[in-house]
A = this chain, B = another copy of it.
């Protein structure tokens, strides 16, 4: 599956540049280290606990519907959310940031320039319970492609929908057009984000930075 999605994205890139991504890239920069490798037998890392105490009932909200790959303009059916909605969440975060900034200035406090923990907290307290940090960080680079080259972003969505790929595969594929854009901009991915009015409030994802670095290294061996 990894290899398949890698092939796909190489395909996507073909008409905009010449480089080969397969054989490094995603595979070289694991984002979860899906290899079990070897169970480090004596590790004492405590388990993350979710299971609620018996008798204690926290009235827990059901989780949001998962995203599916949708074309631009297409509404997701059933218990799913579409990608237009995903991108709208980023716009909502931008609005919440503006509010946090206004409040901070009013009170003479430090004024954030990025979407910080404080902004997520503000969003949650103001009813946007469906926004949370891990989710937003997970798809930042997808939103970045949407902002920087909506044509290519739309094309990718249609392609992946047509093929019946899942969200994970589409998400992976979004990296490669971005790396190509970075190449065309002297590998300054930070600058690319900062120059875009909507993107500049988001941190550059670690993995995107790493992918750019790896590709650049391959260029001048």
Contact at A190–B108, with CB atoms within 8 Å? no
Cβ-based interface call for A213 (8 A): yes
Complex Cα distance, B109 from A64, in Å, reads 33
User: Interface code A191-212, partner B: CB below 8 Å = 1, 0 otherwise?
Assistant: 0000000000000101001101
Complex Cα distance, B108 from A212, in Å, reads 8
How near does chain B come to A210, taking the closest CB pair, in angstroms? 6
Contact with A111, one of B107, B110, B190, B210 (Cβ below 8 angstroms): B190
Cβ-based interface call for A216 (8 A): yes
What's the tally of chain A residues with a CB closer than 8 Å to chain B? 14
How near does chain B come to A207, taking the closest CB pair, in angstroms? 11
Query: Could you say which residues of chain B place their CB within 8 Å of the CB of A216?
Result: 108
Complex Cα distance, B214 from A107, in Å, reads 10
Complex Cα distance, B107 from A210, in Å, reads 9
- Of residues 83 through 110 on chain A, the ones whose CB sits less than 8 Å from some CB of chain B are 107-110
* Chain B residue nearest in CB terms to A217: B108
Query: Could you say which residues of chain B place their CB within 8 Å of the CB of A212?
Result: 108
Given A110-B204, A110-B209, 10 other A-B residues pairs in contact with their CB atoms under 8 A:
A107-B213, A108-B209, A108-B210, A108-B212, A108-B213, A108-B214, A108-B216, A109-B209, A110-B206, A111-B190
Query: Could you say which residues of chain B place their CB within 8 Å of the CB of A109?
Result: 209
* Chain B residue nearest in CB terms to A187: B108
Complex Cα distance, B214 from A221, in Å, reads 57
Query: Could you say which residues of chain B place their CB within 8 Å of the CB of A209?
Result: 108-110
* Chain B residue nearest in CB terms to A107: B213
